Amino acid sequence: MADALSRRDAEARAPADQEGASAAALALSGPSFALLDDIRRGQEATPDGQQLLAQHCTGELEAPWRLIDGLLLHGSRVFVVDHGDLRHQVLLLAHSAGHEGVQKTLHRLRTDFYIPQD
């Protein structure tokens, strides 16, 4: 028998075409404001983040990239640069949301965050 916890990820998703900060807020229901601030600072401090932000300012950065409240998103997922322990913090957040195994943790992580393959 399915319960509310097994359905929470499916119910929390925003429609793919939803625009604006409300889509980002829904996708980011777990991270703290401090983590999001750290991710913003990381995006501004790293070469790849700086390049993407500059491309956004000049209009060269195309969909699915967008900037909402100073936070660079890839679609509805937050772009996490390789800076300090940001990626580790994001992984801990996804893991702490529930101990449902590796695949569900990775799915939850990939739903909310964009971490490019290096």
Read off the pLDDT of residues 53-103 as tens digits, 9 standing for 90 and up.
999 999 999 999 999 999 999 999 999 999 989 999 988 887 776 667 778
> How much is the pTM?
0.68
**33 C-beta neighbours (distance < 10 Å), count:** 8
Domain boundaries along the sequence of the chain: 29-114
In this predicted structure, the answer to whether residue 118 has a pLDDT above a threshold of 90 is no
The CATH architecture one would assign to domain 29-114 is Orthogonal Bundle (1.10)
In this predicted structure, the answer to whether residue 35 has a pLDDT above a threshold of 60 is yes
> What's the pLDDT score for residue 33?
86
Distance CA 105, CA 42 (A): 23
Where is average pLDDT lowest: 8-12, 28-32, 68-72? 8-12
Q: Residue 5 has which token pair? A: 């916890």
Dihedral sign for Cα 52, 58, 64, 69, please.
positive
